[in-house]
Every structure is written in structure tokens, then in C-alpha cells.
Structure 1
Amino acid sequence: MQDLKLVLDLGNGYIKGIIFAKEGDSTVVISKDTVKTKGMRKGKILDVDDFVYSIRALFESFEKKLGGDFIDEIYVGLSHPDMKIKRISEQKRVMNESIQQDDMDHLTNLISETSGEQNYETIKIIPVQWIIDEQMRLKDPTGMQGKKLEITADVFSIPKNFYNTLVEVFEKLEIDVVDIVPNLLGASESAIDFDDKDLGTLLIDIGNNQTSFVVYEEGFPITYGVVPIGGEEVTKDISIGLQVDIKDAEKIKKEKGTALLEDQSQEDESIDVAFLSDVITARYEEIFEHINEYLVQLGKDSRLPGGVVLVGGGAKMNNVEKLSKEYFKLVTFFGKDKVYNISDVSTKLQYINTIGVNAWVDKYGVGSGGFSMSMGVGLGWVKKVIKYIKDMF
């Protein structure tokens, strides 16, 4: 075994961890575990000590299973209800007879300098494409002739206070985190392949406090979005609707909840099953409605041949795939890992993001250390940008 790598998914409901290793040319799972998140709600770390306790509990679990200081690298996968994802383009005139490395360096540096937003910390800048003379899209424009060169990139940012608290948390734990990767990038790497991205596919990650999504077409992401609604809102609706304690509501959701009640004859002496289904369906429809607004703006509503791919813990709700198919008028699949095909985790929706972050790191490399962004400010960023674009094709 070599290159032991821990990937943490810092969810609002649960913190998940998987230890990956290389066994020859294969990637294998050495250990996995999940702990309840304490000290964090709706993307805000309210109690640093409780949050530290949650992560430490996960580490202690791994140590009991494996023993010793076993991890070579640690990566963090992250979703956040207030994450901002914006697309930025920069362009310049080409002064030489052909496009040079200096032209590309200039544009990548411009993206880095202009991508910041007040009270937010940029954690990833992801190049989408190079464009020559507003027509030709290329993975590497070096040496090509043209009068104007443009780069388009997507910028992922999280609230600065949350970012700073994360830094404090890992300092308390004395953990060096190599990189932070948005879960949506990870899921895009593992749950949908090139054919899905080329056909036109909507990937939806339903978490505890947010739902993230991305639309791909012709191999490129054409839009990202975050809806600040997730599984916790469903639980609250059940608690209010059935007038039960929030913990009982969560239990009812997991054991008896369904997004669509197909059999109207189902009965339960303790609860109104039909009413429960209506409550759950209404909240999931609200999530889908927000996403569909983006599709309508793009002219892609009911027009994505690759259909919808669902991942995340919230996608485990009974019949949610049938509701998605009915709402979006698109074929719907549950996401599964298409990279490693590790039998015990590759088909579990709650682990797709964690597996995906590992796949993303394996393919595109890492940041410059600490909490630096992989494609952000820092030594070697330009080379990493160019490598990322080349690897996309």
C-alpha cells in the first residue's frame, strides 16, 4: 500500500471520511466512517470546540481501526449554502504573430486578481476554456494565430468568516490540509463521465442545508448554482406538519418518508402517510423549481438528453428520482462512482462526493499547500491552469 490519502466531507449533518490508497495501479478504500456533525448549522460553525470534537472523533475511529500515524495527505470536500459560483472572462489583444505563453500567463493572472469578492474567500478558480477571436475553443492555444485571446473561468467562494474558522479548527487539530475542493467538482468528476457531459446532463447534489447543481453540455459546464434548501428543511416541515419533536421527525423521514405516494391505500396507525408524502413532495418540488429556473433561462428545460443525476444524502429519499423525472421531464438516475468502481462505496449516494474529491485530486493535482486554492493565487498557478484545461479534453 502507498500514498494513503484521507478525504473529509464536512457536511452540515455528518462528517464523512474515506482513506484511499494505491495498490499497484488501482485505488482502494482502506477505511471509511461517518460521525454526526456538532457545532455547525447551516454553514456556520457556532461552536469551534464541538466541531473540533466531531472531526477528532472521526480520526480516533480511524486510528483504532488502523493504528498509528497513517495518513500521508488530507483533503477537504466542501459544500456550503452560501457558496458563490461566478463565471469570469478576461481577454487581451495578441500582439505577436501567434499566441505565446506570455499571453496566457497575462490572462490567468488577471483572473486571479479580479476574482475576489468582499467578505468571501476564493477556494477554487476553474478554467473552462480558451477562446480565439470569439469563435475557436481550444485546450491549448499556444502557437495558434489570432488577434484576440480570451479565457473563461468559474470562481468558487465561501464566506470568509467560515473559511477563517475552518483554518482555526484545523490549527487546533494540528492537521495540515493540502487542499479544499468544492464537492460539486468532485461529484462532476466521479458521477458523470465525458459522454454525460457531452450529451447535456444536470447533476444535483442534495445535502443537509443546501442543494448544489451543475449543467454540462458539449463537455463543458454551462452553469452552476446553489439552492440554500436541503434535507434539514424537509425534517423541519415534517416536525411542524405532524407536530412532533425534530428528532422524531428525522426518524419518520428516514423510515416512512416518500416523495411520491404511489400506493394511496398505504396506512399507518401512528401518522397520516398521505399527508407526510405531501409535505415531503412539496419541499423537493421547491428545490427542483429553483433549479428549473436556471434551465429555463438557458433554454435547457426538458432539453438535456443526458438527463438528471442525483447524488447526496438527500437523494436517498424514497421516490425522489420519480419526482425528478416527473418534474423536469427528463430521465433521472442515481449517481454512482464511474472512476474507481469500488464495490462497497461506489454505489452509496452519501459517499459520491468524497470519492469524487479523491478522483479530482488524482486527475488535476493539488494546491500549493495549507488552505491555498488549487488554481488560485500562488506559485505555479499558471501551469496548473493550463494542465487543468488540457486534462479536460
Structure 2
Amino acid sequence: MPELSPRNGLPSSAPVLPPPEPSERVDEPAGGGEVDLHTLLSMALLTPAQAALLIDDVTRQLAVGRGRFIGDRSVTVSRDGQLTIAGAGDTGTERDVTSEAARVLRAIAAACHDRSCAERVDESISEAADLADLSRRVSGAVAVDLDPSTVDRTRHQIATLVAATRRSLSDGAPTGEAAGASLAPAGWLPSVENPWHRRKWRLSKRQFAVAVTVIGLIVGAVWAAPGAWTQLRLGWNTLLAPESQPAQDQISPVSPPETPAPAPGSPAAPVNTGLPGSAGPVTDVTATFANGNCAVGQQCLLRVDVRVDPRANVSAVTWKLTVYDRCTGAVLPGADVTMPVPSGEQEVYGIGSVAVPADTAVAIAALTSVPAAAASDPVYVPAENSTCP
């Protein structure tokens, strides 16, 4: 917090102005040498230095006479250019005095032809917490326009404006707001200040985050809209008019490629069941010869073991034995066999029989269909490395 001057309660950083000295006498009509501030501001346009000096006078008066109520006619400017707040009158609360002081300070700043002066004063008033803080902040805001070396000259200029205002009044000019003769340059109209326009808007962190999020959503929506519209249109056409789908969206049935039969005397073709060894709750499938071996042209017995996941709560499994002719490519599926799975068990087995064709080489595999499709490794008859007759 800035240090306060013991003389007037203002910040020590503000220029310390000498006490006002009598300025050069300006001819004026008889009947007193002062004019109320309201009348002066309605007829005169102030320079930044003049406005700053009058504002400094107000803050000094507030420092020595805090608690007095400021009315429209209680603030006057003497013929020497000195602003005075009348000592007589009603007293009010500090809040009332602060409000009236802010109004007077804003009126002086608004009469300055430099807009930045009014903006600085208005901003400092808006940030003030009480009367003392108001005086400190406003004094600091106008300190840039106060030059102690030119105070006498500025005071004389204000005295000249007071004298000219009194002459205008003595000539019969009305004293209403901005009425009658004006001391402003020809063609000048006072600007109507709006505190809303002078307020410096800054986004809070939350508002900035919301703004960035909204902008991101808008950009994302613009970027994704064409693709989403295309997908929506295709889905709509598929639902309402499936026959009008483009030809490229339709898939023609494709037959599996035919495996050419090996030539006589050539090695028998390998076998691919097309199913995995485990699927879903089926963890493993195996097929073995029940009698140890088998020959072509005979009935063969095979043991089929199916292992399941006990956590899947499988109640039954269905399997069948399938014979693959490795020379002709023929596939001979057997009948389905369904076996119950006791509760908590993870393996069941059964015995199946298949007829093996003569004069060929075959492979036999066990295929499950319930609860999932899986296949065992094939067993070969007469052997894996057989040749076709």
C-alpha cells in the first residue's frame, strides 16, 4: 500500500503541489468572484492539466473535511481558480459522501477533452473500497497530468474560465445544463460518456475455458458434419429403399476355391478344417484312435475329448467326426453326437465310429458345434506322409 502524505492523506507518489497562490486578477462582474462547479463544467472544456488540478483540489478537500455532504451547489470554484467544498450544510454517512465525491470527480473528468483522463478516473473510482481509498486511487490516476512547475499557470487558466463563465451569466445566459453560451471551441459538442463502454472486459479463467471448449466443439462439428450426413443418408436409404443401394455396396456370394486332386503317386494334400482349436467356452478338442490304429477300407473307432471352461456353466456339447479325402478332396461329415456336461466338470469324452474309404489317404477330425465351433487336430489314415494311389 502506498505511503500517505501526512499533510493531505494522498499517496506519497503523487506530485506534492504548493499551496494555491493568488493568481493574476481577471476582470469580472461585480457580485462575488466564484461560480459553482456544475455551471462551470456545463460551459467550459478542460485540458487534462486543468481537470487534474480540480480533481486534486477535491481530494484535498475530502482529506481535511471528511464527512461533509457534497451537493450540486456546495462545490464552487473561486475567481483564483481554487475549488472549494462549502463547509456548511448537511452531514451524511461515509457511503453518501463517497458516492457524491465519485459523482463530482466523474463530472470533472468527463469535461476533459482527453478521453483517457475520464477512463483512468472512472476505472480508479470503480476499484475504490471506501472514501480514503477513493482519494488515493483518483490522485494516483491524475498524477501523470500534474506538473508542479505549471500549477500557477494552470490555476490562472481556470480563473480565466471562471471569469468568462460569470460574464456569460451576467449577460443573461441561462444556467441550465449545457445551455447558453459555451466556452468550448466552435462546433464542439460534449461527448456522452457511458461507463459500460469504458469498462475493460477481461474473461475469467472459467469463461476462457468454456469459450475454448465451445470453439472446439463448433470446429469439430463443422469438420465431422459432412461424413456424418453421408453415413446418415446411406443408413436411411438402406432402411427404406434397400433395392436402390449402389452395386458397389452389394457383395455377391463367393464359392470356396476348389482344391485340385493330387495326381496318382503324388503326396496326399494337407487338410485344413477351417476351425480354431478353441473357441468361446470350448478350450480344447482332441481326437485319437480308440484301438490304437486304423486302416483304409475299414470302420474306425475314435475317442473324442472336449474340454470346456467350468466358469461358463456349459450344460452339453455337440460334436461329430468328419472324414477328409486327401486325394479327391471329398468331405464326409458324420452324425452329430450330443453329450451332457456334469455341473462343475471341465472335460467330457465319447467314442465315435466312421467308415474309411479304400484306396485313398484320409484325415479324420472332430468338430464341435455347441457351445462353440472348434476342431481337433486331424488324425491320418494310413499316415500323414501318404501318397495317393
TM-score range, shorter chain: under 0.3
User: TM-score, normalising length from structure 1?
Assistant: 0.21
Whose RCO is larger (CA < 8 A, sep 6+)? 1
Bigger Cα Rg:
2
TM-score, normalising length: structure 2: 0.21
Structure with greater proportional strand content: 1
